[in-house]
């Protein structure tokens, strides 16, 4: 049996997991930094990397304890080295390299975006490849033709904000707590999704596989403060009733979800692909899951959305490293980080 320790420190979660070659999770720990970033309304990179430094050893220790094996029992160490925040990536990579040197074990690289899609394979224990992959996270809203778990061709992505970024920024405008996605979803529960007709950009261009959320964000801003005014949106939102906030949140969520669902359907039709795999933090959104499931029914395609716990950042999805282990794709110890690169 092959057992791999996977490390994930691309953004603001310090995570580790031990996975077997049959994709069994022996132990998994995620240390969230939400509380540290809350007061700033978004991830502060310097705070994130310092917190990773403090957390990485205890997280690895706890993961090994839960797995019930020794570090010397491992067959390899895997680490997400792209894409992500530079300082955060470096902490995971340095920890992984140190373990490799100390234990004389091979090093494996994980592409964080490919790992988000691989979460579907782990959860459903079936091979989804080849598939159309949609990654909707805090940093990406991207469509890929995923030929194999480690061979992705980009089909299109956002031309401005990522979907999660839009959720986070609109939540901040509405005065909702960080992280914005989950708190906006919660606020939207009591709202009317048709209260405001916010724009659904690029849906009228089916041939263009791209997303845009800046117009939607501006529409929410104008609803709160009006064009040309300098009032802070959160200040304006503080004067609204809970119901008004809920209506804006629900109408924003509906528009954002319609863009993601509509463009994915257009991509399925354009590529003719028969399986759609979705991962990333925004895929945890319940309205998104609901509308996506409904939309694909008419398309006769197989839909795999990572379970909510595997949508947001975790190290279990680093099990993709098993594929690289089996293919003999080991890395030299001078492996670097690639903050913006998608391999
Ligand atoms: O994949 P992820 O954990 O980290 C990145 O790789 O970026 O995604 C984080 C993003 C954040 O923008 C967060 O607000 C969003 O996913 N998110 C959600 C929900 N849960 C997390 N967005 C909408 N609804 C949710 N329930
Ligand atoms: Zn992610």
pLDDT, tens digit, for every residue of 61-76?
999 999 999 999 999 9
Strand partners, 107: 77, 331
| Mean pLDDT to the nearest integer, 253-266 | 98
Using alpha carbons only, what angle is made at residue 264 by residues 301 and 338, rounded to the nearest 5 degrees? 115
In testing the pocket of ligand 1, which one of 176, 281, 310, 317 has its CB within 8 Å of the most ligand atoms? Answer: 281
Query: Could you tell me whether strands 131-136 and 141-148 are parallel, antiparallel, or unpaired per DSSP bridges?
Result: antiparallel
165 C-alpha vs ligand 1 centroid, how far in Å?
Answer: 8
327 C-alpha vs ligand 1 centroid, how far in Å?
Answer: 31
What was the pLDDT predicted at 226?
A: 85
- Name the residue with the closest Cα to ligand 1, atom 22: 181
Instruction: Report whether pLDDT(241) > 90.
Output: yes
The finding on whether 87 has its CB within 6 A of some atom of ligand 1 is no
What was the pLDDT predicted at 341?
A: 58
The finding on whether 164 has its CB within 6 A of some atom of ligand 1 is yes
The finding on whether 280 has its CB within 6 A of some atom of ligand 1 is yes
The two tokens of residue 111 are: 């592409």
Q: Kindly report whether the peptide bond that precedes residue 130 is cis, defined as omega within 30 degrees of 0.
A: yes
- Name the residue with the closest Cα to ligand 1, atom 3: 312
Task: Report whether 193 contacts 249 (CB < 8 A).
Answer: no
Residues in the chain: 343
- The band of 343, judged by pLDDT with boundaries at 50, 70 and 90, is very low
Q: Kindly report whether the peptide bond that precedes residue 161 is cis, defined as omega within 30 degrees of 0.
A: no
Question: How do residues 42-61 score in pLDDT, each as one tens digit?
Answer: 899 999 999 999 999 999 99
* Sequence-distant (≥ 6) Cβ neighbours of residue 163 within 8 angstroms: 136, 137, 141, 211, 213, 256, 259, 260, 282
What was the pLDDT predicted at 295?
A: 97
Question: How do residues 136-184 score in pLDDT, each as one tens digit?
Answer: 999 999 999 999 999 999 999 999 999 999 999 999 999 999 999 999 9
Taking the CB of residue 145, how many other CB atoms lie within 10 A of it? 16
Distance CA 76, CA 329 (A): 11
Distance CA 325, CA 176 (A): 43
Report the nearest atom of ligand 1 relative to the CA of 162: 12
Question: How do residues 7-37 score in pLDDT, each as one tens digit?
Answer: 999 999 999 999 999 999 999 999 999 999 9
The two tokens of residue 123 are: 């959860």
What was the pLDDT predicted at 266?
A: 98
Round the average pLDDT of the chain to a whole number and report it.
96
The finding on whether 185 has its CB within 6 A of some atom of ligand 1 is yes
Smallest Cα–Cα separation from 112: which of 192, 13, 241?
13
Tell me the CA end-to-end span of the chain in Å, nearest whole number. 28
Q: Which helix (H) or strand (E) holds 334?
A: none
The finding on whether 128 has its CB within 6 A of some atom of ligand 1 is no
| Mean pLDDT to the nearest integer, 107-115 | 98
* Sequence-distant (≥ 6) Cβ neighbours of residue 39 within 8 angstroms: none
The finding on whether 279 has its CB within 6 A of some atom of ligand 1 is no
Report the nearest atom of ligand 1 relative to the CA of 116: 1
Strand partners, 184: none
Instruction: Report whether pLDDT(260) > 70.
Output: yes
Ligand of minimum distance to the alpha carbon of 13: 1
Distance CA 198, CA 51 (A): 38
Domains of the chain: 3-117+311-326 (3.30.420.40), 127-308 (3.30.420.40)
Question: How do residues 264-305 score in pLDDT, each as one tens digit?
Answer: 999 999 999 999 999 999 999 999 999 999 999 999 999 999
Q: According to DSSP H, which parts of the chain are helical? A: 34-38, 45-67, 86-103, 112-124, 163-173, 180-188, 214-225, 233-238, 242-271, 286-297, 308-311, 321-326
pTM of the model: 0.95
């Amino acid at each position: 049996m092959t057992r791999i320790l996977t490390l994930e420190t691309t953004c603001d979660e310090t995570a580790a997991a031990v996975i077997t070659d049959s994709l069994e999770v022996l132990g998994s720990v995620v240390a969230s930094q939400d509380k540290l970033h809350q007061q700033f309304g978004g991830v502060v990179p310097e705070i994130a990397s310092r917190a990773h430094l403090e957390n990485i050893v205890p997280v690895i220790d706890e993961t090994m304890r839960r797995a019930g094996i020794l570090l010397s029992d491992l067959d390899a160490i895997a680490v997400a080295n792209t894409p992500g925040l530079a300082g955060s990536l470096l902490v995971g990579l340095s920890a992984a390299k140190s373990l490799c040197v100390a234990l004389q074990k091979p090093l494996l690289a994980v592409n964080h975006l490919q790992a988000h899609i691989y979460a579907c394979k782990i959860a459903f224990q079936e091979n989804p490849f080849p598939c159309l992959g949609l990654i909707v996270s805090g940093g990406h809203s991207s469509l890929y033709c995923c030929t194999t778990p480690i061979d992705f061709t980009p089909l299109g992505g956002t031309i401005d904000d990522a979907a999660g970024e839009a959720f986070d920024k609109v939540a901040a405008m509405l005065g909702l707590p960080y992280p914005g996605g989950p708190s906006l979803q919660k606020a939207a529960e009591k709202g009317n999704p048709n209260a405001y007709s916010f724009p659904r950009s690029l849906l009228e261009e089916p041939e263009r596989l791209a997303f845009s959320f800046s117009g939607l964000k501006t529409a929410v801003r104008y609803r709160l403060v009006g064009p040309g005014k300098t009032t802070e949106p959160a200040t304006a939102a503080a004067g609204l009733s809970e119901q008004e906030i809920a209506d804006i949140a629900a109408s924003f969520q509906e528009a954002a979800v319609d863009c993601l669902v509509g463009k994915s359907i257009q991509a399925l039709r354009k590529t003719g692909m028969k399986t759609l795999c979705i991962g990333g933090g925004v895929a945890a959104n319940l309205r998104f899951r609901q509308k996506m499931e409904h939309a694909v029914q008419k398309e006769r395609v197989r839909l795999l959305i990572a379970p909510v716990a595997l949508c947001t950042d975790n190290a279990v999805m680093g099990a993709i490293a098993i594929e690289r282990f089996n293919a003999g794709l080991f890395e030299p110890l001078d492996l670097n980080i690639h903050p913006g690169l998608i391999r």
